[in-house]
């Protein structure tokens, strides 16, 4: 098979899969609610006992308060990532907060918060 035809088939196939994914609505980021956040936290940390959950208004992140220590759960595509809030920096930004974990496996997380949420989250999150 000529390379030109193979290239057209590969590019067309990838574009077709992307279009079908978008048309089926599977390209939308996941939205969290309190029950989802609690069950996702239990998936990441099964030994933690969740006391309360604070979900952001955009439903892309949640602050999870456990008996041991607070944690942060955020959406990454169709999945979630959870980290205990230990050894991190909290940066106040114009549209929310940024959390920088001192862990090479966790990225810098931008939390989009309105003014009311920012005040509550800053009071609940205290770097240790």
Give tens-digit pLDDT for 49-84.
Answer: 999 999 999 999 999 999 888 999 999 888 899 999
- Map residue 102 onto helix, strand or coil: coil
> Which contacts (CB < 8 Å, 24+ apart) does range 41-48 have?
41/66, 41/71, 41/73, 41/82, 44/73, 44/80, 44/81, 44/82, 45/71, 45/82, 45/84
Question: What's the pLDDT score for residue 61?
Answer: 94
Backbone angles phi, psi at 3, to 5 degrees: -60, -35
Sequence-ordered list of residues with C-beta below 8 angstroms from that of 27, at least 6 positions apart, any chain: 21
What token pair was written down for 5?
């035809």
The pLDDT assigned to 97 comes to: 92
Q: Is the pTM of this model over 0.75?
A: yes
Q: Which residues pair with 44 in a beta bridge?
A: none
Q: What is the pLDDT of residue 127?
A: 54
Torsion sign across C-alpha atoms 97, 77, 18, 3: positive
Q: Which residues of the chain have pLDDT under 50?
A: 128
Which one-letter DSSP state was computed for residue 93? E
The Cα angle at residue 37 between residues 36 and 39, in degrees rounded to 5: 65
Sequence-distant (6+) residues with CB within 8 A of 22 are none
- Per-residue model confidence (pLDDT) at position 54: 93
């Amino acid at each position: 098979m000529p390379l030109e035809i193979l290239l057209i088939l590969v590019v067309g196939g990838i574009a077709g899969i992307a279009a079908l994914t978008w048309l089926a609505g599977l390209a939308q980021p996941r939205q969290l609610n309190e029950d989802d956040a609690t069950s996702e936290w239990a998936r990441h940390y099964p030994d933690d006992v969740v006391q309360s959950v604070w979900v952001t208004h955009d439903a892309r992140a949640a602050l999870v308060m456990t008996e041991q220590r607070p944690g942060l759960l955020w959406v990454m595509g169709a999945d979630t990532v959870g980290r205990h809030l230990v050894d991190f920096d909290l940066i106040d930004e114009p549209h929310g907060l940024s959390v920088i974990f001192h862990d090479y496996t966790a990225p810098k997380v931008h939390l989009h918060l309105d003014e009311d949420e920012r005040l509550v989250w800053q009071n609940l999150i205290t770097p240790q």
